[in-house]
Structures are given as C-alpha cells and as structure tokens.
C-alpha cells in the first residue's frame, strides 16, 4: 500500500491509499446477496434522486457536471473519503442505536489494523521532535455491568500536527501516532501522545472541489480515533474531541457527539495535558 504514496501529500495519493486500504478490510458481518433488500434500497435511493431532479428542475448542464464529478471522484480514489465524511455517520447511528455502553462514532478512511502492540503504559510511536502539546490519555475499560476488562485492546490512531496520517501520506514513519495498547489486569491504560490539530480534508481533489463549489468548509475538529475491544464484548469504534476546539460545533463529517468531547487539564508532572476517559463495552 505504501508504494502508492508519492512524494507529495496529495488528495490523489491519500485517496489511492485509502481505496487500497478499504479493499483489504473486513468489517465483521457481510451484506447478504438478498435481491429484495437490494431492490428496496436502490429503488428508494433512485426515487429520492428523481424527486430532487423534478422539484429542482435539474438542467442538462447540471447533470453533466454531476456525471463528470462522479467519474473524477473514482479517479481520485476519493470514494472512501466522500462516503465516510457525508454518509457513514448515519450508518453508525442506526448500527449502534441499541448500545448501552460508551458512544461510538464513524471510523473514517484512515484506520489500519495490526498497529504495533504496546504495554498498558505506553508512548505512541512518534518522531523525536513530534509537534504538538504532550497528552497523557488514560482510563479504564469495563463491561456494562462494571467488571474491569483485563487485557482489553485500545487501538488508537490520529493525525500529526500537519493533519497527516501515517500510511496515507509520504515521509512519515510507518506507524507514526498509531498503536494497539493492551490494558492491564484492571482494564487500565495510560497512553502518551501529542494533541492532534484540527484536520482539513484534502482540498485538491474532488471532495475539495465539491466543498468549494458549495461554499462549505473542509474542517474536522482535532480528534483521536479509537477502537476498543475485549473478548465477549462488542467492539466500539469511536473518536474523541477537545472542548472548545475549532470545529467541534461544525464538523464536516457530522461525527461529534457531546459524550465524546474531552476536557484535558495541565498534567500533574508539568508536561502538557492529561485527561481520563473510561470505555464501557456492551456484551456481545
């Protein structure tokens, strides 16, 4: 995958890497080849499009602009980005509506499985002079009944100060700011990293052109991505944000929930900030 990444951090390069990553991925559960379900979903999607065309009297010029834009999204490899920014949040909402434990939110396009295994107290892989305020992120993983989940897996990944994710941008150490932390016997973890910066989705590709054409902005608030799991429990895919940060109120990906906003305080040891956040997992 990394060989697709060119020397430049372009939309096309990160898009190609995200497309390739998605092709190798297995989310649990497969969509049944159920003719009736496909008929229902695709018919309703098309009917919604037809309705907009009639109500808004869409012109041939607009139809052709849409057609060429759709073709270009594929050429840029930006379907993962487009879908995860503008569609995934509703799929996440309906998938997890019956959970009692911690809130989840969208995964986004930049997860990579099998990041380096780290001990319960760990520093994420990073460069010697990694930019950003040091952050101690700690907490406990428990079951909904309060039982601590010994050895729970806390996978974490986030962008660097330039908004770049390792494996999707050039010239970054392979696993920069990614790790799989194994919690201790009480489900506790202590992760040292740096606070990420607000993130702008690539503006030089098709998604960027859409954003500019519609007069929107391209920003997500600064965020940590996490997947938390333990045997016998449902995995949570989530993100955490920072109170008062830019774009917490207007995330382009609509993925912020009030329960997911952290309130870090100056760290007890005087270096950077620290925050505690506990994860509660539903039973499988």
Closest to ligand MBD by CB, 187 or 202:
202
Residue 92 CB, nearest approach to Fe ion (Å) = 14
Spell out, one character per residue from 161 to 200, where the chain touches ligand MBD: x when CB under 6 A holds, - when not: --------------------------------------x-
DSSP calls for 191-249 = EEEEPPPPEE--SSSHHHHHHHHHT---EE---EEEEEE-TTB--EEEEEEETT-TTSS
> Which of 31, 43, 38, 4 lies closest to 20, judged by CA?
4
Q: Which of 20, 76, 84, 92 binds ligand MBD (CB under 6 A)?
A: 84
Spell out, one character per residue from 213 to 252, where the chain touches ligand MBD: x when CB under 6 A holds, - when not: -------x--------------------------------
> 3-class DSSP state for residue 135?
strand
Q: Interface with Fe ion includes 132 (CB under 5 A)?
A: no
Residue labelled with tokens 């995934």: 88
**Residues in 8-47 at the binding interface with ligand MBD, rule: CB under 6 A:** none
> Which of 20, 61, 13 lies closest to 204, judged by CA?
13
Residue 81 binding target from ligand MBD, Fe ion, none, CB below 5 to 8 Å by type: ligand MBD
> Which of 11, 33, 34, 14 lies closest to 22, judged by CA?
14
List interacting residues with ligand MBD (CB under 6 A): 81, 84-85, 106, 108-110, 199, 201, 220, 253, 255
List interacting residues with Fe ion (CB under 5 A): 108
């Amino acid at each position: 995958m990394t060989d697709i990444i060119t020397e430049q951090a372009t939309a096309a390069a990160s898009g190609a890497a995200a497309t390739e990553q998605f092709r190798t991925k297995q989310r649990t559960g497969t969509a049944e080849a159920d003719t009736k379900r496909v008929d229902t979903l695709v018919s309703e999607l098309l009917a919604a499009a037809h309705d907009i065309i009639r109500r808004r009297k869409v012109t041939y010029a607009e139809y052709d602009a849409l057609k060429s834009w759709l073709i270009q999204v594929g050429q840029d490899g930006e379907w993962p980005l487009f879908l995860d920014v503008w569609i995934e949040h509703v799929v996440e909402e309906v998938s997890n509506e019956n959970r009692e434990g911690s809130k989840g939110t969208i995964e986004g396009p930049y997860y990579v499985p099998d990041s380096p295994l780290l001990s319960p107290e760990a520093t994420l892989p990073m460069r010697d002079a990694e930019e950003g305020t040091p952050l101690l992120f700690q907490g406990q993983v428990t079951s909904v009944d309060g039982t601590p989940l010994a050895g729970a897996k806390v996978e974490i990944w986030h962008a660097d100060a330039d908004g770049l994710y390792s494996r999707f941008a050039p010239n970054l150490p392979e696993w920069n700011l990614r790790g799989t932390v194994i919690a201790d016997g009480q489900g506790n973890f202590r992760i040292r990293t740096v606070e990420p910066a607000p993130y702008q989705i690539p503006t030089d590709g098709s998604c960027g052109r859409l954003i500019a054409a519609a007069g929107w902005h391209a920003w997500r608030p600064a965020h940590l991505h996490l997947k938390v799991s333990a045997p016998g429990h449902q995995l949570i895919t989530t993100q955490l944000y920072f109170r008062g940060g830019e774009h917490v109120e207007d995330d382009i990906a609509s993925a912020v929930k009030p329960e997911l906003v952290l309130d870090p305080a100056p760290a007890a040891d005087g270096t950077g900030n620290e925050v505690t956040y506990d994860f509660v997992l539903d039973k499988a």
